[in-house]
Amino acid sequence: MTTITKERLQWLANISGRDDIDDIDGGEIRELALIALASLEAEPVAKIIAHYPLGVDVGKQKFVQAIGELPDFGGYLFAVPPALVVPDKLPREYIRGWPLAHSDYAEGWNDCRAAMLNGDKS
């Protein structure tokens, strides 16, 4: 999975010609589609209704309550998307006795896991 930065998204949003599309790979398109799909399927977890300030007429309050709409100063609260799942570390006993290629694979696996856990901190 690729990491899509804010700058990359801004560039993608502003591409103007078909020639620029050649710079986009399939993995990036899939990831963008998954993000868009997840945001479309997101369900609100709570309804935030602000208290009516003094001076709002009672008629409007009753109307809003009757039709079930939120007032102009209310909104919905959505859950944060789930964090990436970090794979378990490959234990040393799995690595011992492996040919060099497998040992390098395990080392890469563990380095990738460490990078995921550290985020941007190098």
State residue 36's pLDDT score: 74
What is the domain range of residue 29? 1-41
Same domain, residue pair 73 and 101? no
Same domain, residue pair 75 and 88? no
Tell me the residue ranges of DSSP E strands in the chain.
44-48, 75-78
State residue 111's pLDDT score: 83
Q: What average pLDDT does the structure give for the chain? A: 68
Q: How many helices (H) and strands (E) does the chain have?
A: 5, 2
Same domain, residue pair 55 and 36? no
- Calpha distance 32→11 (Å, rounded): 13
19-42: pLDDT as tens digits: 666 667 777 777 777 777 777 777
Sorted by sequence, the CB contacts under 8 Å of residue 29 that are 6+ apart come out as none
Same domain, residue pair 2 and 34? yes
Share of the chain above pLDDT 90, in %: 0
pTM over 0.75? The answer is no
pLDDT interval class at 97 (50, 70, 90): low
- By residue count, the chain amounts to 122
Of the candidates 71, 74, 67, which has an alpha carbon nearest to the alpha carbon of residue 57? 71
Number of domain units in the chain:
3
CA 28 to chain centre: 14
**Residue 112, CA distances (Å) to 22, 86, 88, 89, 92 in order:** 28, 9, 11, 10, 16
Same domain, residue pair 104 and 68? no
Same domain, residue pair 35 and 4? yes
Same domain, residue pair 10 and 32? yes
Same domain, residue pair 59 and 30? no
pLDDT interval class at 15 (50, 70, 90): confident
State residue 37's pLDDT score: 75
pLDDT above 60 (res 68): no
Same domain, residue pair 65 and 35? no
Same domain, residue pair 97 and 119? yes
Measured at the CA of 38, the angle between CA 18 and CA 81, to 5 degrees, comes to 120
Same domain, residue pair 35 and 47? no
